């Protein structure tokens, strides 16, 4: 499965469109990480736990999107966009969407 955030896959021609595909996950941070983060909040700096958590969730969203695209019979997803929103205190949604296409 090829992914790209441009209009096409560079160097390849699109032969068929399949429509929009998307994937999302809503994740909450767990207490341990939250506690460490609140300590880190005093001195500032990178919150490694959160970086990893968000990266994992984003990978999961991408996998869901890929699965949907495979179901449609596509072999690539173009124009991939990411969006993050905090739906509630302590939880954020990671959403990824794109257009499923078939390339040569």
Where does this chain bind another protein (CB under 8 A)? 2-7, 9-12, 37, 40-47, 50-51, 54-55, 58, 80-86, 89, 92
Residue 72 C-beta: closest distance to another protein, Å:
18
Q: In sequence order, which residues have a C-beta less than 8 Å from that of residue 63 and are 6 or more positions away?
A: 23
Smaller CB distance to another protein: residue 31 or 43? 43
Could you give the C-alpha distances from 9 to 3, 19, 55, 89, in angstroms and in order? 8, 16, 24, 38
Beta carbon of residue 19, minimum distance to another protein (angstroms, whole number): 19
54 or 72: CB nearest another protein: 54
Nearest-approach distance from CB 79 to another protein, in angstroms: 9
Tokens of 69: 């695209």
Tokens of 34: 């939250």
In this structure, are residues 7 and 79 in contact, taking their beta carbons and an 8 Å threshold? yes
**C-beta of 18 vs 62, nearer to another protein:** 62
We find the least distance from the C-beta atom of residue 20 to another protein, in angstroms, to be 17
Contact of 86 with 6, CB cutoff 8 Å: no
């Amino acid at each position: 499965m090829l992914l790209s955030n441009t209009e096409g896959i560079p160097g390849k021609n699109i032969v068929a469109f399949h429509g929009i595909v998307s994937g999302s996950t809503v994740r909450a941070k767990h207490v341990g990480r939250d506690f460490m983060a609140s300590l880190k909040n005093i001195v500032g700096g990178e919150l490694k736990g959160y970086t990893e958590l968000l990266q994992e969730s984003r990978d999961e969203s991408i996998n869901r999107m890929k699965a949907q695209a495979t179901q449609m019979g596509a072999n690539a997803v173009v124009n991939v966009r990411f969006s993050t929103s905090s739906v509630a205190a302590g939880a954020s949604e990671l959403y990824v969407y794109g257009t499923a296409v078939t390339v040569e």
